[in-house]
Amino acid sequence: MSPSRPSNHEIFSKVEKALEAVACGNRQIGPASSHSADFDECAIYDEADLWKKLPKLLLELKEELKQRGPVLCYAGYFPPIFPEENLLNGLELWPYHWDSKIMNFRIYLKFCIKIAQDGRPHYLHVSLHEDRPEDI
């Protein structure tokens, strides 16, 4: 692994893959004990509401990446780290933060992308909440 990972292109590409996966319905909630608290914090009422709001948030993030630059929106390590949860085993974490006009606060979104055998991306939701700089 190169210590320069992720590149600007890779940071941007993961958001595009997330958008593609969510739009196609290739998505699921990953394991986390904090989803309920995160949803409350973001006024998300249930999983269906998350899937309704997430495409808009990902489009907003994509625009932020274009305007501010990928490195300012990427909130992870160089290189990306692997979570310990079994469901996410072997997948890299992709955390982002930005000032969301949709949510009216600085948001933190973390997900994993799994590429299926057919080459299509699958979105695994890890967290969505107000940005807390110590989170990664």
For 18-53, what is each residue's pLDDT tens digit?
999 999 999 999 876 567 788 888 888 888 999 999
Helix (H) or strand (E) holding 127: strand 121-130
Domain boundaries, the chain: 8-130
- Mean pLDDT to the nearest integer, 67-86: 88
Which top CATH class is 8-130? alpha beta
Cα–Cα distance for residue pair 71/82, rounded to 1 Å: 19
Model confidence band, residue 1 (pLDDT cutoffs 50, 70, 90): very low
- Mean pLDDT to the nearest integer, 66-90: 87
Query: For residue 71, how many C-alpha atoms fall within 13 Å in the half-sphere facing its CB?
Result: 6
Model confidence band, residue 4 (pLDDT cutoffs 50, 70, 90): confident
The pLDDT assigned to 108 comes to 95
